[in-house]
Amino acid sequence: MDTTVVDVPEKGRFEVRIDGRVVGLASYHVDGGTMTLPHTEVDPSLGGRGIGTALVAGVLDAARERGLHVLPYCSFVRHFIQEHPDTVDLVAESDRPHFGLATADR
């Protein structure tokens, strides 16, 4: 099973694909140096296999590579960041309290 995360900017989303088939997405919008992440979804029949986690990890890696901060409005993205403290720095310090990340350690 080949899982890849692909940016599809013309659709404003990242897609997670298994063997070339789109099985999930993370919508985004970039404004200046900030990537807003309002929504993620994965095919419910594939739940519990780490596909959403792979998707969010790929999105956050892309944001880091591009030097962007993120606004994790999606609760799944927010939970990922809480569970992976090494990604908290992607949320601007001034935005962290709004997302319940004020006490997260880097």
pLDDT tens sequence across 83-92: 999 999 999 9
* Euclidean distance between CA atoms 21 and 102, whole angstroms: 38
Cβ contact 35:71 at 8 Å: yes
* Euclidean distance between CA atoms 16 and 19, whole angstroms: 10
Looking at the DSSP bridge assignments, the partners of residue 41 are 25
Model pTM score: 0.92
* Euclidean distance between CA atoms 4 and 54, whole angstroms: 8
Q: Any idea which residue has 């403290």 for tokens? A: 85
Cβ contact 57:80 at 8 Å: yes
pLDDT tens sequence across 29-54: 999 999 999 999 999 999 899 999 99
Q: Per-residue pLDDT for 58 more than 90? A: yes
Domains of the chain and any CATH numbers: 3-99 (3.40.630.30)
